[in-house]
Chains A and B, each alone.
Chain A
Amino acid sequence: MIFGFNGQEIIACLLMGAGLVFLIGSMVGMLRLPDYYSRVHASGNSETLGTLLVFLGLMVFNGFSNVSAKIFIIAVFVFLGNPIGSHILAKAAYKTGHPVWTKKQAVQHELSTEPTSSIATAEEKEAQANADLHG
């Protein structure tokens, strides 16, 4: 008994706290990373281990019952569904010519004398890709 919690609740709290770290970290990544392809990795961070750890904590808190089994089934659905969604989005982005951000490009962009030109071309490419999509 620590702070009025028994052992089961403490384990549940630790698991959910670890999940919370991944959820927050994924949010930070989503806001900081430079392009779409890298942000997919950040979102995967929260959707896999963040979700899994919080669900695991809830299962430990709830004990062995019908509800725990259903939570496990939800985790399986999330695990089967998320890769399909992110893969098919990445494939759609790649096939419509969305440019991949690389370190070399960024260094070149910093070194170039007219800093706005590269951004403008990227935006033009994007507009072209959107026109391809809906045309």
Chain B
Amino acid sequence: MQIFFLVIMAALIMTIGLMLQRLFQGPTIFDRMNGLGVITADTILLIVLFGFLDKQPGMYVDLAMAYAMMGCLGSVVLAKYLGGKKL
């Protein structure tokens, strides 16, 4: 089971790496924000999986929960800033 967690974590890290490419070269600012959103979702998964790998999921799940709340709020605030008065 540990190996399976490691496989999923490797795939997630690869996804984050390719999303970083989208983040740095994405033609518009909205593409960058979208890539950031995907990275946030993947990081939440990564934190929870690392907790299970470390055999103390209770602590890491709390961290992931805080990160999920912050990710939602952060993307709304940044989009509001980008949209300006037109939103």
* Contacts from A to B (Cβ < 8 Å): 5, 9, 12-13, 16, 19-20, 23-24, 26-27, 30-31, 36, 39-40, 43, 46-47, 50-51, 54-55, 58, 61-62, 66-67, 70-71, 73-74, 77-78, 80-82, 84-86, 88-93, 95-96, 98, 126, 130, 133
Contacts and interface: CB of A to CB of B under 8 A. Distances in A.
B61 A88 contact: no
Nearest to A130: B29
Contacts of B87: 88, 91-92, 95
A40 B34 contact: yes
10 contacts: A54-B49, A77-B68, A81-B75, A82-B41, A88-B75, A88-B76, A88-B79, A91-B83, A95-B83, A126-B27
Interface in B40-79: 41-42, 44-45, 48-49, 52, 57-58, 61-62, 64-65, 68-69, 71-73, 75-76, 79
Contacts of B49: 54, 58
Given A43-B38, A71-B61, A78 B83 contact: no
Name the prevailing secondary structure of the A interface residues: helix
A37 to B, nearest CB: 9
Contacts of B37: 43, 47, 82, 85-86
Nearest to A4: B1
Interface of B: 1, 4, 7-8, 11-12, 14-15, 18-19, 21-22, 27-31, 33-35, 37-38, 41-42, 44-45, 48-49, 52, 57-58, 61-62, 64-65, 68-69, 71-73, 75-76, 79-80, 82-84, 86-87
A70 B38 CA distance: 21
A89 B41 contact: no
A109 to B, nearest CB: 16
B28 to A, nearest CB: 6
Contacts of A55: 45, 48
